[in-house]
Amino acid sequence: MTESTKAFEQLVEIMDELREKCPWDREQTFESIRNLTIEETYELADAIIEKDYENVKKELGDLLLHIVFYSKIASETNLFTLNDVIEQICQKLIYRHPHVFGTTQVSTATDVVKNWEQIKMFEKKGNKTVLAGVPKSLSALIKANRIQEKVKAVGFDWEVRTQVWDKVEEELNELKGEIEGGDQDKIEAEFGDLIFSVVNAARLFNVDPETALERTNKKFIKRFGYLESKTIKQGRSLKTMTLDEMNEIWEEAKGIDNQ
């Protein structure tokens, strides 16, 4: 028995004990821990972006606990067991990797993705359209990227990736036109089209738009924090400063980031 197998068995045993003896754990349901699972997923994503691998380890453990927790709850009403969960993912991985476990030939990662999407389309009953498998609850930004990845897998994509810039420019000009017209509903629609085209550009240049935007969010927060901190040290208030004064400190923050 390997160390990882022993550790996993210990986790399962601990979950059994908690479910039997802890009042809080005993009361939990699929629905009650769903939001906690979402929170843990975002915490893992944060740790990955920060390259905080100690926290990546911690958050992976938290997610693993949730998988065991859901499986334990399900086993109590004979819905499925933890073994069922593991066996199903093993079967799926083997089936969806015929280039590893079968005779299919691929030469690039792109070929693998195309083959993967084709397999997914035909293996699910009632889910045979290209976009039917995109989860409805995904955030709009992640969903836009996922939509574009899926249609690419069936050949619906730019022949040359630089062509996307014409589309971005087209959508930007249409947005500017609607802003001049003043129709708020049309302005919102054109903003959506512009963002969708920018997400498309990110994908074409191998950039994950969610990760890129979150990096910018964190960078902005850090620089604005420097601006606030320095302002307070000077005994001043942002509300009484001019934009030029704030920009001067902002440039200092940018300089520190670039060192």
Q: Are residues 151 and 199 in the same domain?
A: yes
For the chain, state the CA radius of gyration: 24
Q: Are residues 154 and 170 in the same domain?
A: yes
Q: Are residues 192 and 218 in the same domain?
A: no
Cut 0.85: pTM above it: no
Residue 199 lies in a domain: yes
pLDDT of 123 strictly over 80: no
Q: Which residues, other chains included, contact 167 with Cβ-Cβ below 8 Å and sequence gap of 6+? A: 197, 200
Report how many domains make up the chain.
Answer: 3
Q: Are residues 194 and 138 in the same domain?
A: yes
The parent domain of residue 228 ranges over 211-257
pLDDT of 108 strictly over 90: no
Are 86 and 94 in contact by the 8 Å Cβ rule? The answer is no
Phi-psi region of 63 (alpha: psi -120 to 50; beta: other; left: phi over 0): alpha
201: confidence class by pLDDT, cuts 50, 70, 90 = very high
Give the distance, in angstroms, between the CA of residue 78 and the centroid of all CA atoms in the same chain: 32
Residue 109 lies in a domain: no
What is the DSSP track for 14-36? HHHHHHHH-HHHHH--HHHHHHH
Q: Are residues 196 and 249 in the same domain?
A: no
Residue 143 lies in a domain: yes
Tens of pLDDT, residue by residue over 59-91, are 999 999 999 999 999 999 999 999 999 999 999
Alpha-carbon distance of 37 to 67, in angstroms, equals 9
Q: Are residues 186 and 218 in the same domain?
A: no
> Of 173, 192, 207, which one is at a domain's C-terminal end?
207
Alpha-carbon distance of 93 to 104, in angstroms, equals 14
> Of 27, 62, 83, which one is at a domain's C-terminal end?
83
> Of 14, 49, 83, which one is at a domain's C-terminal end?
83
Give the pLDDT confidence score for residue 143 in this predicted structure: 93
pLDDT above 70 covers a percentage of the chain that reads: 96
